[in-house]
């Protein structure tokens, strides 16, 4: 049985990753900040005995270390860095910047995926699939900026792309791949109700990308449908 570790799995795309991989027969290490409040995730864990719940705030170094200790010597075939935040509203040019929000956006969207990947590198290296997936966004593509705003989110995802591209070069000699994916515009709390894609469809199509992944694709940035995104 292959193993997958997912962050931010209590709702949105994270919950759907858990549902689909569990249904496909994977052992799922599903992490979230507050497992005691994650009702839908608990229901999935009741339904699929291969789903295990763990507490993980991705900004909490102590929790990352504790999780790594708990899963020590467990091969992790795929790590999905899914947790993300998008705290900002569009503000007028003269509005004060909330630097704490910006820093927190970087902690969750950029720094945590690097820390998690580094922490679990040995577990990835001893697995079969050996893949790190970073859920980025086309909003992190500088070439695709056609409107103002979302500065915190855009910069955090652009930085995530840069970090993961570099990491792909570092991990390739270990046979570990790094895949950057844009899930499309998806109906979740972040994506909102007007988004055209369901989480079910987005994750189903991204799973096809993941299944087809080879090291030749490491460090590349794709839309959920497989088209490549320029940096």
- From 82-90, 168-176, 209-217, 223-231, give the range in contact with ligand NDP by CB under 6 A: 82-90
* 77 near ligand NDP, judged by CB under 6 A: no
Instruction: From 57-65, 92-100, 171-179, 215-223, give the range in contact with ligand NDP by CB under 6 A.
Output: 57-65
> Helix 12-23 to helix 39-47 angle, to the nearest 10 degrees?
0
Contact 200, 13 (CB under 8 A): no
**Which of 3, 4, 6, 10 touches ligand NDP (CB under 6 A)?**
10
What are the CA-CA distances from residue 161 to residues 110, 137, 222 (Å)?
Answer: 9, 9, 11
Task: Reduce the DSSP state of residue 166 to 3 states and report it.
Answer: helix
SS3 label, residue 174: helix
For residue 51, how far is the Cα from the chain centroid?
18
**DSSP secondary structure code for residue 90 in this structure:** P
User: Of 147-176, which residues contact ligand NDP (CB under 6 A)?
Assistant: none
Closest separation in Å from C-beta 38 to ligand NDP: 8
102 lies in the site for ligand NDP, by CB under 6 A: no
Residue from 5, 30, 58, 158 binding ligand NDP (CB under 6 A) = 58
Q: Which range of residues in 10-18, 70-78, 209-217, 219-227 is near ligand NDP by CB under 6 A? A: 10-18
Task: Give the DSSP letter of residue 111.
Answer: I
Distance (Å, whole) CA 61 – CA 112: 9
Our finding on whether 140 is near ligand NDP (CB under 6 A) is no
Looking at the chain, the number of H-run helices and the number of E-run strands are 8, 7
Q: Which of 57, 116, 167, 179 binds ligand NDP (CB under 6 A)?
A: 57
Site for ligand NDP in 26-45 (CB under 6 A): 32-34
Where does this chain bind ligand NDP (CB under 6 A)?
7-8, 10-14, 32-34, 57-59, 82-85, 108, 135, 137, 182-183, 185-186, 188-191, 195
């Amino acid at each position: 049985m292959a193993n997958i570790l997912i962050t931010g799995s209590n709702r949105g795309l994270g919950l759907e990753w858990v549902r689909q991989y569990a249904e496909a027969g994977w052992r799922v290490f599903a992490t979230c900040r507050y497992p005691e409040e994650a009702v839908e995730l608990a229901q999935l864990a009741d339904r699929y005995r291969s789903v295990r719940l763990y507490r993980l705030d991705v900004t909490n170094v102590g929790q990352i270390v504790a999780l790594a200790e708990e899963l020590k010597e467990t091969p992790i075939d795929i790590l999905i860095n899914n947790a993300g935040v998008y705290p900002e509203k569009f503000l007028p040019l003269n509005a004060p910047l909330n630097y704490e929000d910006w820093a927190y956006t970087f902690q969750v969207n950029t720094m945590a995926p690097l820390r998690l990947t580094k922490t679990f590198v040995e577990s990835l290296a001893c697995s079969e699939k050996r893949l790190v997936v970073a859920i980025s966004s086309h909003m992190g593509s500088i070439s695709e900026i056609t409107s103002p705003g979302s500065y915190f989110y855009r910069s955090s995802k652009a930085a995530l792309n840069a970090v993961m591209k570099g990491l792909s070069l570092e991990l390739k000699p270990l046979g570990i791949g790094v895949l950057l994916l844009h899930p499309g515009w998806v109906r979740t709390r972040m994506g909102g109700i007007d988004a055209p894609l369901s989480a079910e469809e987005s994750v189903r199509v991204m799973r096809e990308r993941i299944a087809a992944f080879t090291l030749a694709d490491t460090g590349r940035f794709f839309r959920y449908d497989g088209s490549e995104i320029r940096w």
